Amino acid sequence: VRNKTIITNLENRLLAFSFENEACVEIQVISNKEGEWQVGDIFTGRINNIIPNIKAAFVTIGDEQCYYSLEDNKHTTFLNVKKDNTPHVNDEILVQIEREASKSKNAGGSCYFNLTGEFLVLTYHKKGIGISKKIGNEEYRRLRADMEKVLLHLQNEYEESELCGFIVRTSGANASFSQLLADADSLIKQLQSLMFKAKSSVSGKCLYKSKSVLREIMNRTGIGEDSAVITDDEAIYKQLERENENRFAKVNIEFYNNELPLKAVYELEHILKEAVAKKVWLKGGGYLILEPTEALTVIDVNSGKDIKGRDNKEEHILKVNLQAAKEIARQIMLRNYSGIIIVDFIDMKKAEHKKELLKYLKEQLLMDSVKTVLVDITRLGLVEITRRKLKKPLYEQWRDFKDN
């Protein structure tokens, strides 16, 4: 199985380990707290403070507050009567949670709502068609042509479609035109229902709950013989089966009940321990040191051995750096680092080697489903990467659960 997700309990916590081609690319601690905000939830809220210096507002949702950038959010949906489109204190608005709260920061809110279906994501106030980066060129062209027909159909049926775009998810790679149309139609109706309910809702009301974590795991794992979700938890297995009943395309769900524990078969305890460790070894004897801080994450690449006696020192350094680049891209996804990431590769003298390394690193980062950008290499030879923040990094998720 090329893509698989293992869901099991470790230290009384439910975790999901996602594998691609035998390599673990993501670990998620699954929360079971009732009423906890999730990225993707949409609420009615009230603006209680505007800070002009940072062009931001703070929106009260129930007993909590979220940060709302006035610079980034140009299409605020107001629920009270307005003479203009300028946000003011006490305005009631719709907000989608786009970033989890951290120890020192409030959750982040957005006016650009995303509604997630089985194959598509509806993007409100962001028009156009997007296709998952993991979908191949041939399918890409077919899906774009089908989605253009879908948009034409929707524009004849729904006024709201004029403000909407769609992204085809990786799970939609093999979806037919009729499946794409049905999914898009369902999402537009969800948007209509949400807007209708918002008009009469009190402040702090959750109008749209993000898809369940299990459904998202199924979507990311994919369909077909080379994909599967495996669990040894009977309750989780039953939930997965219920989720599967309502899908167009069924996911392979496997219940594991052999004598050897599932965590031992896939060495999950070892994988988790490595994923929160400071040091990561590379195949050739080099290693990475990973240091996440509040402001940024620093990754240092080391050769791990004396290379002075080698015949071709420059070629060896390039080889270690290329190994490091591949592992760094995986570790960023695995550990869910975000914000500014600085990488200190081993110094290289040749310009063509630097160019080759950056090109290779950029290709590896394209595999990330979260928006990740290789910014540049600084004058000091440091490589700067930025990654969109959605959820807490793995070490924080695990620490929070250990503390509780």
Separation of alpha carbons 116 and 125, rounded Å: 15
What percent of the chain has pLDDT above 90? 62
**pLDDT for the residue numbered 31:** 67
**pLDDT for the residue numbered 322:** 94
3-state secondary structure 91-140: CEEEEEEEECCCCCCCEEEECCCEEECCCEEEEECCCEEEECCCCCHHHH
**pLDDT for the residue numbered 1:** 65
Q: Which range, 168-177, 233-242, 322-331, is most confident?
A: 322-331
Average pLDDT, the chain: 89
What percent of the chain has pLDDT above 70? 95
Token pair listed for 341: 């990431």
What confidence tens digit (pLDDT) does each residue in 12-44 have?
Answer: 888 999 998 888 999 988 865 555 678 889 999
Separation of alpha carbons 74 and 69, rounded Å: 9
| 365 has pLDDT over 70 | yes
Separation of alpha carbons 48 and 38, rounded Å: 22
**pLDDT for the residue numbered 134:** 79
| 306 has pLDDT over 60 | no
**pLDDT for the residue numbered 101:** 83
**pLDDT for the residue numbered 4:** 93
How many other CB atoms are there within 10 angstroms of residue 300's CB atom?
A: 15
Cα 110 to the chain's mean position, in Å?
16
Q: What is the three-class DSSP state of 224?
A: coil
| 49 has pLDDT over 60 | yes
What confidence tens digit (pLDDT) does each residue in 97-111 have?
Answer: 998 887 778 899 999
**pLDDT for the residue numbered 316:** 87
Beta bridge partners of 78: 93
What confidence tens digit (pLDDT) does each residue in 247-300 have?
Answer: 777 889 999 999 999 999 999 999 999 999 999 999 878 899 999 988 899 999
**pLDDT for the residue numbered 383:** 96
Side-chain half-sphere exposure of 119, counting CA atoms within 13 A: 24
Separation of alpha carbons 12 and 285, rounded Å: 35
pTM to 2 decimal places: 0.74
Report whether 179 contacts 104 (CB < 8 A). Answer: no
- Average pLDDT rounded to a whole number, residues 370-375: 91
**pLDDT for the residue numbered 48:** 94
**pLDDT for the residue numbered 309:** 46
**pLDDT for the residue numbered 198:** 93
Q: Residue with structure tokens 């990475």?
A: 288
Separation of alpha carbons 290 and 331, rounded Å: 9
Exposure string over 256-278, b if 16+ CB within 10 A, otherwise e: beeeeebbeebebeebbeebbee
